[in-house]
Amino acid sequence: MPYAITQLCCTDASCVTACPVNCIHPTPDEPDFGTTDMLYVDPRTCIDCGACAEVCPVDAVFPAETLTGALADYPAINAEHFAGTEPAAPPEGSPLFHAWGPVRFDRVLPADFPTLDVAVVGSGPAGMYTVQDLLLHTTAKVTLYDRLPVAGGLVRFGVAPDHADTKRIGESFARYHDHHRLRLRLGVEVGSGVTVDELARRHDAVVYAVGAPTARTLGVPGEDLAGHLASTTVVGWYNGHPEIDADAVPVDTVDPARAVVVGTGNVALDIARILAADPARLDGAFAPAVLQRLRASRVREVVLLARRGPEHAAYTRGELLALLRRDDLDVVVDDHDPRVGETIDAAAPGEHAALLQGVPRVRVDDVPAAGERRRVVLRFHAPPEALVGEDRVTAIRVGGPDGPGELATGLVVRAIGHRGRPLAGLPFDEETGTVPNHAGRVDGRPGTYVVGWIKRGPGGGIGTNRRDAAETVAALIEDGKQHLVGAKPRRRGFLRRA
């Protein structure tokens, strides 16, 4: 009975090193690791030892035969990844083998490498993987700052509450909060409570892991109308973010009973799924005030608007499959534009648009459907052109094959991606919304480093930040070796002056 990896995989690769027979791919050393949505178990060589399931921080690996319901497709999805490849053959006569590579030590510190005093700003995944690497592989003392009174970044205030297994990774990060070499300073905003220069004076090195907290704007008329919200507001609201009011998302008064979400990424799908969910399926994972409003929600239909066609939809296969398997709501594709159906029908197996083969196609009316069941509509080739209304949104104007049309709606959410925010004292690239850096070293500021979304832009799941943190910590250690080892007496803030 081989194991299989499922939708919740966040690609942190913990299972890769745990697997005794090297049957989980792509590994971090393989070229497609940087672009894959998830990792896969090769069922031909898996020896069913369960080591991967033990180390997985989000409970994404299971014995294949136990997978049912929404996860039933995953044994085949894992096997499909290896189609056309040769299984790595075990040595003759042995059921166990391991393709041992050369011995590698990722962190080698000289014996006289000193105890560094490092500040990490931001307690989301990127900050926590950095903390973990520093605490496990160096003798550094670390001070972890976050502007919020609760640690966790987007694991706490971004990942959807109904993805409880993914949120569990927060528990493995939280283990380090009590580490004897870590000081936790919550509720301290760097840039206002304490400046970048002050922080640089207090510590040998500072690593910024401040994320990309701003929602991109649509750039169309009517954006400031009431009833138009950013994804960050809606996501923060259903996660109980301390700065977002429980009344921020008026689902209980939406009129007409349709919400429009602009975007087709995983965040857009999260929002659509939660807004369209049968209230009976929502549970205590949501804050009581939010749950009360969701249970009183008037939303019956959520339309997801995509600028381009189904071949370019930004959702991952796992997130879409999870939505399609829901039994409390229908998912349909709007066929206003004949190109949509043609693209889906012509897609070869494995192509992105083929994921929608078999999904019903309907022509969605300008006013929401009055059916019994809630539904999510995917509408492609429908760029938003304007939000319409006097003081509140009453409709959204979208482009289409016959010219613009209007969809009546009482709530529009834009979920078209995030953007980094400048932090006073650090350089900022307006075009990419990131802090200019080389392998994590901030340009022009020795001793200052970045990691996560503020370093590489807002893309990639939780696990992506692990490798990213390893790169930044490697740069920091390298700088320490260059400027400190052998230097006597030790100079505090040496990296800054290097």
Ligand X SMILES: Cc1cc2nc3c(=O)[nH]c(=O)nc-3n(C[C@H](O)[C@H](O)[C@H](O)COP(=O)(O)OP(=O)(O)OC[C@H]3O[C@@H](n4cnc5c(N)ncnc54)[C@H](O)[C@@H]3O)c2cc1C
Per-residue contact string for residues 35-64; x = within reach of ligand SF4 by CB under 6 A = ----x-x----xxxxxxx--xx-x-xx---
Please select the residue that binds ligand X; options are 120, 199, 210, 282, rule is CB under 6 A. 210
Please select the residue that binds ligand X; options are 13, 64, 120, 190, rule is CB under 6 A. 190
126 binds ligand SF4 (CB under 6 A): no
Q: Which of ligand SF4, ligand X, none interacts with 18 (beta carbon under 5 to 8 A by kind)?
A: ligand SF4
Q: Which of ligand X, ligand SF4, none interacts with 3 (beta carbon under 5 to 8 A by kind)?
A: ligand SF4
* Residues 148-167 interacting with ligand X (rule: CB under 6 A): 148, 153-154, 158-159, 163, 166
Please select the residue that binds ligand X; options are 343, 434, 448, 465, rule is CB under 6 A. 465
Contacts with ligand X by CB under 6 A: the residue count is 35
- Whole-angstrom CA distances from 269 to 114, 260, 300, 356, 458 are 48, 12, 15, 14, 17
Q: Which of ligand X, ligand SF4, none interacts with 24 (beta carbon under 5 to 8 A by kind)?
A: ligand SF4
Q: Which of ligand X, ligand SF4, none interacts with 9 (beta carbon under 5 to 8 A by kind)?
A: ligand SF4
Please select the residue that binds ligand X; options are 147, 203, 336, 381, rule is CB under 6 A. 147
Our CB check for ligand SF4 shows the closer of 55 and 150 to be 55
Cα separation, 153 vs 414, in Å, equals 21
CA 446 to chain centre: 30
* Contact status, residue 205 vs residue 447, Cβ threshold 8 Å: yes
* Contact status, residue 116 vs residue 181, Cβ threshold 8 Å: no
Q: Which of ligand X, ligand SF4, none interacts with 235 (beta carbon under 5 to 8 A by kind)?
A: ligand X
Residues 178-184: contacts with CB under 8 Å, at least 24 apart: 179/135, 181/135, 181/139, 181/140, 181/141, 181/142, 182/131, 182/135, 182/141, 182/142, 182/143, 182/144, 183/141, 183/142, 183/143, 183/144, 184/123, 184/144, 184/151
Our CB check for ligand X shows the closer of 148 and 333 to be 148
Cα separation, 4 vs 68, in Å, equals 12
257 binds ligand SF4 (CB under 6 A): no
The H or E element that residue 442 is part of is strand 441-442
| Candidates 176-184, 302-310, 458-466, 489-497; binding stretch for ligand X (CB under 6 A) | 458-466
Q: Look up tokens 């939809």; give the residue.
A: 313
* Residues 404-433 interacting with ligand SF4 (rule: CB under 6 A): none
Cα separation, 384 vs 400, in Å, equals 10
**What is the dihedral angle through the alpha carbons of 254, 215, 159, 473, rounded to the nearest 10 degrees?**
-170
Our CB check for ligand SF4 shows the closer of 45 and 143 to be 45
* Contact status, residue 21 vs residue 96, Cβ threshold 8 Å: yes
Our CB check for ligand SF4 shows the closer of 18 and 150 to be 18
Cα separation, 403 vs 390, in Å, equals 23
171 binds ligand SF4 (CB under 6 A): no
Q: Which of ligand SF4, ligand X, none interacts with 429 (beta carbon under 5 to 8 A by kind)?
A: none
Per-residue tokens: 455: 């370093």
Per-residue contact string for residues 389-428; x = within reach of ligand X by CB under 6 A = -----------------------------x----x-----
9 binds ligand SF4 (CB under 6 A): yes
**What is the dihedral angle through the alpha carbons of 441, 420, 459, 452, rounded to the nearest 10 degrees?**
40
Q: Look up tokens 């939010």; give the residue.
A: 290
Q: CB count, 10 Å around CB of 134?
A: 27
Q: Which of ligand X, ligand SF4, none interacts with 60 (beta carbon under 5 to 8 A by kind)?
A: ligand SF4
Per-residue tokens: 336: 């206003």
Q: Which of ligand SF4, ligand X, none interacts with 49 (beta carbon under 5 to 8 A by kind)?
A: ligand SF4
Under DSSP, the state recorded for 240 is T
Cα diameter, the chain? 77
| Candidates 33-41, 141-149, 196-204, 356-364; binding stretch for ligand X (CB under 6 A) | 141-149
Q: Which of ligand X, ligand SF4, none interacts with 322 (beta carbon under 5 to 8 A by kind)?
A: none
Starting at the edge strand found earlier in the chain, the sheet holding 258-262 runs 228-230, 411-414, 258-262, 301-305, 374-379, 329-334, 361-362
Positions touching ligand SF4 (CB under 6 A) are: 3, 5, 9-15, 18-19, 21, 23-24, 39, 41, 46-52, 55-56, 58, 60-61, 463
Positions touching ligand X (CB under 6 A) are: 10, 121-127, 145-148, 153-154, 158-159, 163, 166, 189-191, 209-211, 235, 267, 418, 423, 452-453, 460-462, 464-465
